[in-house]
Structure formats: C-alpha cells, structure tokens
C-alpha cells in the first residue's frame, strides 16, 4: 500500500490520502478520498478535485519543506 499524497485544499500543505471510497451522488457514483494535511485539516473530497498524482508534488519534493 503506497502513501498517497495530495495538497490540502485549505492551506496548501502536503496532505495524506487516508482512504478512498466510492459514494453515490446525484450524478452517479463518485470516488471520494479522505485527506488529512500536516496542519490537521481534513476533508472528504471527490478524487477528481484533488491535486493528482504526478502533479507538482511528485516533481518538487523540496516543496515539502517550509
Ligand atoms: Zn490544511
């Protein structure tokens, strides 16, 4: 199981995807992810709204340090 990282939609800090689940919505099933950032925010968001894998996090590991 790999660690899945994205960005916090609130503060922009690195955030970990804790789990994913498919949820029914008015538009049909949508995959959601629960993310928790380094500063303690957490969200349940559609996966499509996350900063995707292979995005700038993967390309700029130095951005983790702040
Ligand atoms: Zn945050």
How do residues 4-50 score in pLDDT, each as one tens digit?
899 998 999 999 999 999 999 898 999 999 999 999 999 999 988 88
Report the predicted TM-score, pTM, of the whole model to 2 decimal places.
0.64
3-class DSSP state of 15: strand
15 C-alpha to ligand 1 centroid (Å): 7
Provide φ and ψ at 51, rounded to 5°: -70, 120
Q: Domains along the chain?
A: 5-64 (2.40.10)
- Chain CA centroid to CA 2, Å: 13
Q: How many Å lie between the centroid of ligand 1 and the Cα of residue 23?
A: 23
Which residues are near ligand 1, the ion (C-beta closer than 5 Å)?
Answer: 8, 10-11, 13, 37, 39, 41
**Which DSSP string do the residues of the chain spell out, in sequence order?**
----EEE-TTT--EEEEEEEEEEEETTEEEEEEEEEETTS-EEEEEGGGSPPTTSHHHH-GGGG--
How far is Cα 28 from Cα 22, in angstroms, rounded to an integer?
10
């Amino acid at each position: 199981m790999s660690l899945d990282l994205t960005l916090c939609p609130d503060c922009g800090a690195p955030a970990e995807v804790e789990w994913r689940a498919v949820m029914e919505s008015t538009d049909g099933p949508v995959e959601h992810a629960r993310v928790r950032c380094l500063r303690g925010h957490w969200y349940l968001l559609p996966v499509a709204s996350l900063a995707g894998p292979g995005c700038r996090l993967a390309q700029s590991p130095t951005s983790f340090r702040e």
